[in-house]
């Protein structure tokens, strides 16, 4: 089963908003509200930023938000800050007790 | 505060079995979550390997199922991974994590251990 599709890169200037997409199919992203997003800084472990499409764990800034439309989920980072520069991965339940990650998006703060 | 720490050999020979352990602190492994393994080849994306409940219920990624064994030791509050018949393609950073399941579906990982690099080479 192929990974979920994410753009390899995204960028924005400090203070701007940027949206990263995660595209799957009706059997995974579109079929379940079980999309999560992870932030991974260089040399560090991933950190959960959004779960179940749009919920933020405690401690995650409200500048991070998640949504879904059809087979595509999105992570929006508002008011970009230098510390947001990282790789971002989506994941989704894909049926048959299986879970897939997206290929990752490198977010650059210009 | 839940913390996870992976440990095990950093170098494994081709065709041998990779073995890692994840020690959990600040949280009882019996307390209602699954516990899982995820790997990341250098410069590449993430791949879920499998998850285990304290009762021994296990889910594996179908693509790795034939080579993976995950076990739990509740007395030591830790769980383990074995990956057999490894090749260079199995070289990766291996992470352990607490896993949330909903109705039998794996849905998110939090927190993660710091990760440990395992290189497969002769």
What is the structure's pLDDT at B103?
A: 85
CB pair distance less than 8 Å for B107 and A93: yes
DSSP codes joined into one string, B74-86: TTTTEEEEEE-S-
Q: Are strands B3-7 and B92-102 parallel, antiparallel or unpaired?
A: unpaired
User: What pLDDT, on the 0 to 100 scale, is given for residue A7?
Assistant: 97
Confidence of residue A1 (pLDDT cuts 50, 70, 90): low
Element (H, E) at A54: none
Question: B105 and A97: CB-CB below 8 Å?
Answer: yes
Give the DSSP H or E segment for A101: strand A98-101
- A94 CA: distance to closest CA in chain B (Å): 9
Phi-psi region of B113 (alpha: psi -120 to 50; beta: other; left: phi over 0): beta
- Residue B71: phi and psi, rounded to 5, are -135, 165
From chain A residues 69-98, the ones with a CB under 8 A of any chain B CB are: 89, 91, 93, 96-98
**Phi-psi domain of A13 (left: phi exceeds 0; alpha: psi -120 through 50; beta: other):** beta
Distance from B82 to chain A by nearest Cα, in Å? Answer: 19
Exposure class string for A6-30: b at 16+ Cβ within 10 A, else e: beeebebeeeeebebbbbbbeebbb
The 10s digit of each residue's pLDDT in A91-101 is: 999 988 899 99
From chain A, pick out residues whose CB is under 8 angstroms from the CB of B46.
Answer: 38, 46, 89, 91, 101, 104
Mean pLDDT, range B21-49, rounded to an integer: 95
Query: To the nearest whole angstrom, how far is the Cα of A27 from the nearest Cα of chain B?
Result: 14
Mean pLDDT of all residues in B13-17 = 98
Q: Which of A36, A96, A104 sits opposite B45 (nearest CB)?
A: A104
Structural Rg of chain A based on CA atoms: 13
Report the SS3 class of residue B66. helix
């Amino acid at each position: 089963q192929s990974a979920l599709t994410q753009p390899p890169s995204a960028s924005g200037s400090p203070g701007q908003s940027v949206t990263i997409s995660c595209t799957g199919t009706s059997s995974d992203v579109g079929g379940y509200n079980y999309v999560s997003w992870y932030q991974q800084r260089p040399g560090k472990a991933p950190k959960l930023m959004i779960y179940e499409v749009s919920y933020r764990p405690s401690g995650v800034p409200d500048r991070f938000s998640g949504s879904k439309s059809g087979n595509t989920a999105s992570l929006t980072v508002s008011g970009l800050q230098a510390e947001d520069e990282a790789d971002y991965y989506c994941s989704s339940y894909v049926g048959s007790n299986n879970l897939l990650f997206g290929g990752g998006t490198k977010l650059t703060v210009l | 505060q839940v913390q996870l720490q992976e440990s095990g050999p950093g170098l494994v020979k081709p065709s041998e079995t990779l073995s890692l352990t994840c020690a959990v602190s600040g949280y009882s492994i019996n307390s209602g979550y699954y516990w899982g393994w995820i790997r990341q080849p250098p410069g590449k994306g993430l791949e879920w390997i499998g998850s285990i409940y304290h009762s021994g219920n296990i889910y594996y990624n179908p693509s790795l199922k034939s080579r993976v064994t995950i076990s739990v030791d509740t007395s030591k509050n830790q769980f383990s991974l074995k990956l057999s018949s490894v090749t260079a393609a199995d070289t990766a950073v291996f992470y352990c994590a607490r896993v949330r399941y909903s109705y039998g579906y794996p849905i998110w990982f939090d927190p993660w251990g710091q990760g440990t690099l395992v290189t497969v080479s002769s």
